[in-house]
A and B are shown apart, each in its own frame.
Chain A
Amino acid sequence: QLQLQESGSGLVKPSQTLSLTCAVSGGSISSDAYSWNWIRQPPGKGLEWIGYIYHSGNTYYNPSLKSRVTISIDRSKNQFSLNLSSVTAADTAVYYCARGEGPWGQGTLVTVSS
């Protein structure tokens, strides 16, 4: 059964870069049949798609975040990563990774605060 697990810093200072990794187990990330996604949810609010990457390395980002987002893939480690630069308090959210429509990881809360 495919499982995804987010990891990374839970506290990031304003203007710094948020970095998260999604480890994939129970299946291979090396399949272009699926997109590998990052989604976030500010506390008490709805869901916002950040972007996705394919096995080929092709990426698609939400235009609202495009200038600050980088998603990369590490096939050797069966994982993919998110970098979000120049963060502000508005980037405080639970960050989820997901394969296509599912499954999703359990999510990790990232707080932006000095």
Chain B
Amino acid sequence: DVKVTQSSRYLVKRTGEKVFLECVQDMDHENMFWYRQDPGLGLRLIYFSYDVKMKEKGDIPEGYSVSREKKERFSLILESASTNQTSMYLCASSFKGDQPQHFGDGTRLSIL
């Protein structure tokens, strides 16, 4: 079974802090993704990566950055956290091509 592990289930941070969300997958997937999920808005893509050290902007990249130094690990960084970044963050991975994405259980992030 595919395993996508997100480092924290719940996280509380203060405005202005730099926040790191970590994601690790154990299936040697080439592709990795970060989404946020908000009520009524569904899942929205923040950033994705097709290979190590490679990144592409998704639909809502403002206020975020990412890092992929190793194939199995994809980090999401909130440069200076703001209250409108309070959300559920979901990491996913997949093989390249038209393969389904597999998700972790999410990090519920609250910015106070």
Pairing of A with B? no
Query: Which residues on A are within 8 Å of B, measured CB to CB?
Result: none
Query: Which residues on B are within 8 Å of A, measured CB to CB?
Result: none
